[in-house]
Amino acid sequence: MFSLVRHGGDQLDVDLLRYSLLAAILISYLVVVMDPMVGIHFEGEEQAMALIGNWRGFLGHKNFAGAVCALCIIMFLFDAKRIRPMIRIFAILVAGYFLFRLQSKTSGGMVVLASVGGIVFETVSIRLRRYIIPILMIVRSVFWFLTRAYADMVQSNFLQPKAFTAVARSGGRC
């Protein structure tokens, strides 16, 4: 394996990684179907109740499987122009559906952010790219900071049943 990586060149290394990620997802599908006790988080395991029903495949935890799915999507989305479009679409859909069944919000968010960055990188000229990517990162960081800093206030204001009704606030009088 080390000789193959050393003498195969960069493109072969990337292809090995790309198809290894896809193989891991396909094997995870098989594990979910053939042995759900291993492939799906179930009640009775020592874990958070929120994980129950989330897929994990053979990778042990949904976060590990989420990272594999996210990387697979990115690897087949970008720098894969020489791969047949049907294979690319198949890989992205397979990884995307598995990521959906994982319910891994972190990996899903990373796919979206990486995709936006990749699209900007591929479509925008170098001159504008120097400014757009750092601005997008700053805007995203400020958004993340504000959502974390004010998460309790937002949840308390918007998740209360009476938060959106003027009638409820006035005691039933209009």
pLDDT in tens, 102-130: 988 889 988 998 898 888 888 888 888 88
CB 34 within 8 A of CB 58: no
CB 39 within 8 A of CB 47: no
Rounded-to-integer distance, Cα 153 and Cα 147, Å: 10
| CA angle 106–113–120, rounded 5-degree value | 170
Kindly report the pTM of this predicted structure.
0.74
- Report the pLDDT value the prediction gives residue 5, as an integer from 0 to 100: 67
Rounded-to-integer distance, Cα 15 and Cα 21, Å: 10
pLDDT in tens, 66-112: 999 999 999 999 988 899 999 999 999 999 999 999 988 889 988 99
